[in-house]
Structure 1
Amino acid sequence: MKAAVRTIFLAAIYFIDVQAYYSQSVRKVTDTSDAFIDIRYRNLSKACKSLKSLMLYAVNYKYSENEFESGAIYETQYVSRTVVAYAKYHEKKRNATWFIGTFFATPEMRKHKQSEGAIYDGVTVLKKGIAVNGRGKYNTRGKNYTLLFSDYSTCSILGVPNKHSGRRCHVLLPPEKIHNGMSKHCWEMYERSCGDLSEFWPVLKLPFN
């Protein structure tokens, strides 16, 4: 049954993928970048393909106890140049929450034309709603995230929606890297992208490097 639901879900994404390809040129997003990081480290499609399982490791702001599900794993199920689908679950609770994201290029990224085509550093994410008549529906109001940095092997840093001034950041690491903590390169890019290292709040209570 679960396999059938997953097959139907992924088949539907192909249709969304085609629509997304033709919608990229009309997407408008506010540019909030303070320090632009080399575009080689900001390819969101590549990051999703390279780091298929991630856990939220830390953020750069104080958060409430019920704001995050500590220990949640975000696992990519499908990714193309313009679309990603992923599931959030816990190792002990395999019931997954599904999300679908459509990639876009932020204004700063659009300034850098690439010979191989557009590079998308943003994604609009929709959470899957309650299934109706056997078909899943998605919340119509998505959230925009931007990839601030990824080394495509040990670390990704996302800029997240923020109602207040400044930039909010999420640091995500593969489950197998959690106990090792952030690499030196990741620490450097965190400081450059997200501000002073004093504003670093672990979500997972594990030892750092």
Structure 2
Amino acid sequence: MRILIVEDDAMLADGLSVGLRLSGFTPEHVSTCADAQEALAHGGFAAVVLDIMLPDGSGLDLLARIRDTANRTPVLLLTALDQVDDRVAGLDLGADDYLGKPFDLDEVTARLRSIIRRAEGRAQAVLEWNGLSVDPAKMTAQYKGRALEFSPREFAILRALLERPGVVLSRSALEDRLYGWQDGVESNAVEVHIHKLRSKLGSDFIQTIRGAGYRLAGDEK
């Protein structure tokens, strides 16, 4: 699940990136409004972590431009400007949540999971399908009563499928969950991870739809 970090403090952005990656996200970092707009034009982000004070403009102006284009990607404002008036302005411009600096990484990841769930229309934090239960917050899974372990990329693909059960996701859509928009993509990465998931969940848990992509098999039970 790709998260765009828009932050000009390199040390803070590095810390955020490490924390988000450990929580199962795929973070990408830019430091200016211009670079953020270019990244968002490519799409595929589950959420944006946005600073307000940026070297080439205000994050609030960027937020307004994002919303003016009908882009509904969830936005978490993360800034030192934490007075009531600042929070009200950010929320009224279309931010989904607001967190002041300094912050706790666990709270950042929890707030991101929350705004992403709301954007997806989900109330439940745990994802379930045909005996599989996945907790994105803890990055744990149980299948028919037994604990399973997945690599971060296996987890990312499985989570993508669980978030849209029954929907066919193309290879490129799954690659978007694994790689940043500037990253090189391994030619057979999705197939390799699907194979590993099937080895743990059963060969018929994930269907291949020839020429289209992959989906979870069957109906939810």
Task: State TM-score, norm by structure 2.
Answer: 0.28
- Structure with greater contact order relative to length (CA < 8 Å, sep ≥ 6): 1
**Higher strand proportion, which one?**
1
Instruction: Say which one has the larger Rg.
Output: 2
Q: TM-score, normalised by structure 1?
A: 0.29
